[in-house]
Amino acid sequence: MIIPILKKLLPCACALLTLSAHAEPDLGAPEAAAQAQAGKLILIDIRTPPEWKETGLAKGARQVNMLNPRGANGFVEQLLGEIKGNRNAPIALICRTGNRTTQVQRYLQSVGFTQVYNIREGMAGSDAGPGWIKRGLPVEACTKQC
C-alpha cells in the first residue's frame, strides 16, 4: 500500500523539495474567510479527498488535490481551470496545518502565479493559529471528489 502512495507523491515532492521552508505572504484564517466572502480572493483547498471528507471544506473553497496523478503539472493545470487561467488571480491556499501550503505557495510563485496567499494555520491549526475549524469559521461538507 505504501508504494502506490509514494509513486503518487513523488512527482509533486520532487518539485517541492527544492523550495525554501517558508514563503510569503500569509493570511490568517479570519482574514481569508472575510476576503473570500467579499469576492476578493479564491480559497483553494489542496488537501486530499479523505481529508476533505473527514473535516469538510472552508466555505466556498475549491478542491485542488495537490497529489494530482499527473504530478505538479497536472496540479497546476487543475488550478488554472479553477481560476479561469488567470495566474494573477488572488488565491489563498489552505491545507490541514499550513505545511503543504507553504511549499505549494513557493512552487506556484516560481511558475508565475503572482497573488498566492498562505493560510498558515490551516484547517486544524498550527503554531500560526488555532485553525479554520477551531475559530468557528464556516465549513461545508464535502460533496464531490470525496
> What would the pLDDT profile of 71-85 be if each residue is shown by its tens digit?
999 999 999 999 999
User: For residues 56 and 10, which has the higher predicted lDDT (pLDDT)?
Assistant: 56
Half-sphere exposure of 24 (CA within 13 A, CB side): 0
Domains of the chain: 2-140 (3.40.250.10)
In angstroms, the CA 87 to CA 81 distance is 11
State residue 143 phi and psi, 5-degree precision.
-120, -10
Question: Tens digits of per-residue pLDDT, 37-48?
Answer: 999 999 999 999
Residue 50 burial (10 A CB sphere; 0-12, 13-18, 19+): exposed
Q: What is the pTM of this model?
A: 0.84
